[in-house]
């Protein structure tokens, strides 16, 4: 059966179906962001009440990132083996139930254990959520839809902070985990109606299932827009290999290098600079209140930057936007350490944070999932995310050493160096997927398998 799932999905106009998929995945991604950032509000309360010590808080953070790293890796293999729908529903259930368990923790050791389990689900959601939407979104609007996912995620930062200010004084820190757990399980229930990816179903030879879902989607879109759908593009005669080894040979290897380098860089920027802002301000002599006020102003760059990334990725192109945002971050990163005016400091900081979050939208949400074929997309994204998350485990130690010896200048010198490396890697090895079908991005020399009964002639790539 010649399903041709990719071409049939790509020809569809943006409709209520696409918006429903985006919102249901996006709400789950919001709770992913909420649960990641909830630590900043919860740990202060546990420390103040005597429930935890500084050492236990550090272990809480470290095991969160370890869980996220392992979750990113595991979900790649599970998602390519058992499907997108199974994987994103499983990880939602895992961190939803673990979050409720954390709310009932009798001591900090149990809370840390539940947090590690939550981390497994959080790391998985980041990989499978972005990749799943990639396989449904039409090429012309894929960047915008994917970028909006990053807006959902980073919105969890200010929301977690504001809710924490309201809930924790009245109900205690446990209420934050209850809210996150109930929210995640609510989204799990709502997302049961989401279909499996027809692209993935076709890639594992479940052609009848893919055809049934495609017909249902096409009928819904035709009912909304009327008329006849345009003819789909021809299906590529040769399908990519499903073997893991295919990621480390030929033209796929440079893509793995690009994916790994960019996610290591952006994770280091986030957890080596942005999350350390209050600490930097305190050590520079500002009061706690002023430090958090400055950090709050600069954190507004998160939704602004992610929104800019979402709105411009399809218009400006992925590579130019990544390179441009990296260059802007280098410029403002070089200026920032030498600003002493108390009014200009948060302004320049905001102008530095905005391009960092443009990169968050482009790299996490849009570019990396596009680099790889459906057959190995989640495994490849999972490996790249695993290395990126692994960087967050060692980043705090590097930041402390640099800040202790050179101050914020040393920290930003590291960030600028990484951004320069990113520019070179993306410009040299990166591909430009803007406006292209996912199937047309398959490298010509990548290992391949022939579909049963398919024409053995390899059609040229666009």
From first to last of its 462 residues, the chain has per-residue pLDDT tens of 689 999 999 999 999 999 999 999 999 889 888 887 787 778 878 888 889 887 888 888 888 889 999 999 999 999 999 999 999 899 889 989 999 999 999 999 999 999 999 999 888 888 999 999 999 999 999 999 999 999 998 888 778 878 887 888 889 999 999 999 999 999 999 888 889 999 999 999 999 999 999 999 999 999 998 878 888 888 876 677 888 888 998 889 999 999 999 999 999 998 888 877 766 776 777 765 676 677 777 878 889 999 999 999 999 999 999 999 999 999 999 998 888 888 898 899 899 999 999 999 999 999 999 999 999 999 999 999 999 988 888 887 888 889 889 988 999 999 999 999 999 999 999 999 999 999 888 776 656 654 443 433 333 333
SS (H, E, C) 71-129: HHHHHHHHHHHHCHHHHHHHHHHHHHHHHHHHHCCCCHHHHHHHHHHHHHHHHHHHHHH
φ, ψ dihedrals at 13, nearest 5°: -70, 150
- Whether the CB-CB separation of 187 and 64 falls below 8 Å is answered with no
Give the pLDDT of residue 458. 34
d(CA 221, CA 214): 11
Let me know how many helices (H) and strands (E) the chain has, helices first. 19, 2
Nearest CA among 319, 6, 41 for reference residue 175: 41
Domain 245-462 superfamily per CATH: MFS general substrate transporter like domains (1.20.1250.20)
Give the pLDDT of residue 125. 84
In sequence order, the β-bridge partners of residue 450 are 238
Output DSSP code: residue 366: I
Please list, in sequence order, all residues whose beta carbon lies within 8 angstroms of the beta carbon of residue 233, skipping any fewer than 6 positions away.
7, 10, 11, 437
Where in the chain is CATH 1.20.1250.20? 1-228, 245-462
CA distances from residue 213 to 3, 189, 195, 376 in whole angstroms, order as listed: 11, 20, 7, 21
Give the pLDDT of residue 460. 35
In sequence order, the β-bridge partners of residue 448 are 240
CA distances from residue 288 to 61, 283, 293 in whole angstroms, order as listed: 22, 10, 8
d(CA 134, CA 150): 13
d(CA 235, CA 175): 51
The string of pLDDT tens digits covering residues 378-396 is 999 999 999 998 888 888 7
Q: Is the pTM of this model over 0.85?
A: yes
φ, ψ dihedrals at 450, nearest 5°: -85, 130
SS3 234: coil
φ, ψ dihedrals at 434, nearest 5°: -55, 125
Output DSSP code: residue 18: H
d(CA 450, CA 456): 7
d(CA 436, CA 443): 13
CA distances from residue 226 to 11, 19, 455 in whole angstroms, order as listed: 14, 18, 34
Looking at domain 1-228, which CATH architecture does it have? Answer: Up-down Bundle (1.20)
- Whether the CB-CB separation of 215 and 201 falls below 8 Å is answered with no
d(CA 35, CA 177): 8
Nearest CA among 69, 32, 131 for reference residue 267: 69
d(CA 4, CA 324): 36
d(CA 300, CA 157): 10
SS3 273: coil
Provide the H-helix boundaries in 2-83: 5-10, 16-49, 54-82
- Whether the CB-CB separation of 243 and 380 falls below 8 Å is answered with no
In sequence order, the β-bridge partners of residue 240 are 448
């Amino acid at each position: 059966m010649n399903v041709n799932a990719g071409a049939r999905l790509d020809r569809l106009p943006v409709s209520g179906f696409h918006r429903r998929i985006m919102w249901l995945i996006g709400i789950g991604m919001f709770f992913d962001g909420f649960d990641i950032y909830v630590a900043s509000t919860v740990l202060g309360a546990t420390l103040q009440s005597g429930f935890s010590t500084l050492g236990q808080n550090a272990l809480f953070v470290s095991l969160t990132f370890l869980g996220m790293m392992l979750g990113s890796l595991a979900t790649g293999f599970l998602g390519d083996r058992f499907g997108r729908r199974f994987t994103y529903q499983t990880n939602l259930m895992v961190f939803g139930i673990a979050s409720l368990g954390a709310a009932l923790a009798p001591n900090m050791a149990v809370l840390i254990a539940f947090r590690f389990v939550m981390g497994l689900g959080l790391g998985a959601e980041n990989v499978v959520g972005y990749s799943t939407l990639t396989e449904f979104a039409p090429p012309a609007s894929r960047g915008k839809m994917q970028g909006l996912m990053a807006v959902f995620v980073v919105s969890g930062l200010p929301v977690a902070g504001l809710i924490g200010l309201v809930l924790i004084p009245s109900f205690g820190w446990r209420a934050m985990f209850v809210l996150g757990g109930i929210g995640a399980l609510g989204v799990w229930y709502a997302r049961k109606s989401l279909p499996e990816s027809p692209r993935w179903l076709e890639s594992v030879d479940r052609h009848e299932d893919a055809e049934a879902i495609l017909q249902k989607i096409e009928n819904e879109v035709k009912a909304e827009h009327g008329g006849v759908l345009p003819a789909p593009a021809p299906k590529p005669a040769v399908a990519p290999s499903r073997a893991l080894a295919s990621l480390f040979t030929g033209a796929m290897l440079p893509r793995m290098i690009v994916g790994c380098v960019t996610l290591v860089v952006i994770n280091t920027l986030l957890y080596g600079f942005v999350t350390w802002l209050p600490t930097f301000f305190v050590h520079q002599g500002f009061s706690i209140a002023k430090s958090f006020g400055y950090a709050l102003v600069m954190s507004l760059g998160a939704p602004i930057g992610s929104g800019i990334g979402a709105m411009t990725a399809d218009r400006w192109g992925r590579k130019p936007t990544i390179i441009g945002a990296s260059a802007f971050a280098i410029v403002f990163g070089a200026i920032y350490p030498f600003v002493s005016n108390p009014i200009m400091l948060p302004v320049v900081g905001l102008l530095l944070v905005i391009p960092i979050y443009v990169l968050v939208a482009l790299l996490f949400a849009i570019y990396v999932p596009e680099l790889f074929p459906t057959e190995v997309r989640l495994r490849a994204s999972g490996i790249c995310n695993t290395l990126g998350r692994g960087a967050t485990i060692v980043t705090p130690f590097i930041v402390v050493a640099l800040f202790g010896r050179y101050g914020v200048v040393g920290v930003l010198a590291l960030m600028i160096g990484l951004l320069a490396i990113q520019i070179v890697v993306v410009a040299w090895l990166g591909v430009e997927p803007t406006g292209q079908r996912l199937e047309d991005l398959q490298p010509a020399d990548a290992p391949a398998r022939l579909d049963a009964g398919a024409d053995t002639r390899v059609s040229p790539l666009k």
